[in-house]
Amino acid sequence: MNDATELVAYAESWYRYGGGDPDDILVRFGLTEVAYFTRLREALSTDTTLDPAVRDAIDEVASRRIDAGPGHAMPA
């Protein structure tokens, strides 16, 4: 699995719940939540494996999390 695939797989598991815990993201990927969601959005832009509705839902979560800033996990 490559980095982009791992980012998307994690997001696919957690988007319904607001995108995952910032501490879990840091431990798993070594990224702050803003860095993770920024990279995730880049990965989504080239992903062809997800259903478009799921891709859009994940992108919306990522956008909200970036806009909220560090330490403000958003509810689903």
CA angle 75, 54, 41 (to 5 degrees): 75
* CA distance linking residue 50 with residue 69, whole number of Å: 26
Q: Which domain holds residue 51?
A: 3-68
30 is a domain residue: yes
Per-residue burial over 23-33, b if 16 or more Cβ lie within 10 Å, else e, is eebeeebebeb
* CA distance linking residue 1 with residue 6, whole number of Å: 6
Question: Along the 76 residues of the chain, how does pLDDT read in single tens digits?
Answer: 569 999 999 999 999 999 999 999 999 999 999 999 999 999 999 999 999 999 999 999 999 999 988 765 555 4
64 is a domain residue: yes
63 is a domain residue: yes
51 is a domain residue: yes
pLDDT at site 70? 75
Q: Give the DSSP H/E element, type plus range, for residue 64.
A: helix 52-68
- Provide the domain count of the chain: 1
47 is a domain residue: yes
